[in-house]
């Protein structure tokens, strides 16, 4: 047996039992006779199940796809996929057996092995599983110190996936709402410009209203003055009528003068009435302008409410961004904890490798001692052979 790794050779019955116990038996009805008289697919099946169960990480298995180098070399790659799969499994098996110091594992041992080589390879594999189980048992107290490591890792990964999904949903919603926000911002800017125009129009209308009020007050003042003049003329007319009996000619002249003055007064009153009508029309125009200003003010209020709503939406978006930033910080802290735990696991693996090297060194020393002892025993046996012949001759 060409191997630098010492292990006991198991019987076919023990090998079959251990293959079932570790769940790497290639068929459900594997018997010791199948190991004593192996088929070509026995070792590939056992090694493939062994790698899938104990060596390969989830998602690290062969996907059956050919590389670019294979596609360049082979004319019809699809005709060689099974052969390439077998070669990959053989290379992986040879590398693993070399790592446990089982040397000289050839392609013939893999495809058409002899019963002796099958027993040796499977014995080495099962002894490695025994050794692995022993080391896992030794490391169990260390692992038990952190019982919730895997659960915590899964929770953190689930939380990270949830946060990434929320971030993606928020970014998607933000992208979907961005045209609406831009449109709303454009509407707000347009409404602000309209508000400025309306403010200018309101100032102009207020100035016109002030001018109209001044004209109205002037008209009222003139009407009051005209009423006062009319009353004064009436009193003067009464006084003249009382004097009419005393001096008819003077009274007649005075009467004619009064008539002319009265005609002038009526004319001025007519002019005042026309002015008053003009002022009333101006007042009506002012009232209409006031109504328009009121409507414009209500529109300005609506624009202001829309502007306040837009600012509220903007504040909400900023709050959500701040929340996402906080959650990103928590995710970064979780990542740091995961890196810390991975460092501890790496340290444990290094310690395990050290223990393995120490055990291999002890085994090598014991093998050396055993070889020396065997040589010594063989020397003593050679020394005893002449004595035994002499005794036989003497008898």
Structure tokens at 11: 């019987």
d(CA 159, CA 327): 10
Q: How many CB atoms within 10 Å of residue 213?
A: 14
Question: Of the residues 224, 244, 264, which one is the last residue of a structural domain?
Answer: 244
Burial of 281 from C-beta contacts in 10 A (0-12 / 13-18 / 19+): exposed
Alpha helices for the chain (secondary structure H): 12-22, 32-36, 42-50, 68-73, 81-99, 107-111, 115-144, 149-243, 248-394
Tell whether 63 is covered by a domain: yes
Same domain, 137 and 174: no
Same domain, 96 and 190: no
Question: Of the residues 87, 121, 146, which one is the last residue of a structural domain?
Answer: 146
Burial of 131 from C-beta contacts in 10 A (0-12 / 13-18 / 19+): middle
Same domain, 64 and 139: yes
User: Structural domain tally of the chain?
Assistant: 2
Same domain, 135 and 202: no
Same domain, 233 and 193: yes
Question: Of the residues 146, 166, 200, which one is the last residue of a structural domain?
Answer: 146
Same domain, 194 and 105: no
How many angstroms from the chain centroid is the CA of residue 286?
A: 61
Tell whether 184 is covered by a domain: yes
Structure tokens at 312: 């509220």
Tell whether 362 is covered by a domain: no
**CA atoms within 13 A of residue 98's CA, in its CB half-sphere:** 9
Same domain, 56 and 133: yes
Residue 231: domain span = 148-244
One pLDDT digit (tens) per residue for the chain, 395 residues? 344 456 788 888 898 888 888 888 888 888 888 888 888 888 888 888 888 888 765 444 554 455 555 555 555 556 667 778 888 888 988 888 888 888 788 888 788 888 888 888 888 888 988 988 888 888 877 767 665 666 777 888 888 889 988 998 888 888 888 888 888 888 888 888 888 888 888 888 888 888 888 888 888 888 888 888 888 888 887 776 776 555 566 656 767 777 788 788 888 778 888 887 887 887 888 778 778 778 877 787 787 787 787 778 778 878 877 877 777 777 777 777 777 777 777 888 788 888 878 888 888 888 888 788 778 877 777 887 787 788 788 87
Same domain, 134 and 157: no
DSSP character string of 177-188:
HHHHHHHHHHHH
d(CA 15, CA 35): 8
CATH at residue 83 = 1.10.418.60
Same domain, 135 and 195: no
Tell whether 277 is covered by a domain: no
Tell whether 161 is covered by a domain: yes
Same domain, 184 and 110: no
């Amino acid at each position: 047996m060409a191997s630098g790794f010492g292990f006991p050779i198991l019987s076919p019955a023990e090998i079959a039992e251990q293959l079932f116990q570790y769940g790497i038996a290639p068929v459900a009805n594997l018997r010791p006779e199948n190991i004593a008289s192996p088929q070509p697919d026995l070792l590939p099946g056992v090694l493939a199940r062994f790698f899938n169960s104990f060596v390969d990480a989830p998602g690290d298995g062969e996907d059956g796809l050919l590389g670019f180098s294979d596609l360049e070399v082979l004319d019809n790659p699809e005709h060689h996929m099974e052969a390439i799969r077998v070669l990959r499994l053989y290379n992986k098996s040879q590398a693993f057996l070399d790592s446990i110091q089982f040397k000289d594992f050839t392609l013939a041992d893999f495809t058409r092995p002899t019963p002796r080589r099958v027993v040796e390879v499977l014995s080495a594999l099962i002894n490695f599983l025994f050794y692995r189980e022993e080391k896992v048992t030794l490391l169990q107290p260390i692992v038990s110190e952190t019982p919730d490591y895997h659960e915590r890792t899964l929770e953190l990964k689930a939380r990270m996936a949830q946060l990434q999904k929320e971030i993606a949903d928020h970014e998607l919603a933000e992208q979907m709402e961005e045209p609406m926000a831009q449109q709303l911002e454009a509407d707000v800017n347009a409404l602000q410009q309209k508000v400025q125009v309306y403010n200018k129009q309101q100032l102009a209308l207020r100035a016109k209203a002030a001018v109209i009020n001044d004209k109205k007050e002037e008209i009222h003042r003139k009407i009051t003055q005209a009423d006062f003049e009319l009353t004064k003329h009436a009193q003067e007319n009464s006084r003249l009528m009382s004097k009419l009996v005393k001096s008819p000619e003077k009274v007649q002249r005075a009467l004619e003068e009064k008539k002319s003055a009265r005609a002038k007064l009526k004319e001025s009153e007519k002019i005042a009435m026309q002015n008053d009508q003009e002022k009333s029309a101006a007042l009506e125009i002012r009232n209409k302008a006031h109504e328009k200003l009121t409507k414009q003010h209500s529109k300005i209020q609506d624009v202001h409410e829309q502007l306040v709503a837009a600012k509220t939406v903007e504040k909400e978006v900023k709050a959500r961004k701040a929340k996402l930033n906080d959650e990103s910080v928590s995710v970064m802290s979780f990542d740091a904890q995961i890196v810390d735990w991975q460092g501890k696991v790496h340290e444990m693996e290094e310690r395990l490798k050290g223990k393995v090297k120490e055990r291999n060194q002890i085994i090598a020393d014991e093998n050396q001692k055993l070889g020396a002892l065997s040589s010594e025993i063989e020397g003593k046996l050679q020394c005893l052979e002449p004595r035994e012949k002499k005794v036989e001759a003497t008898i």
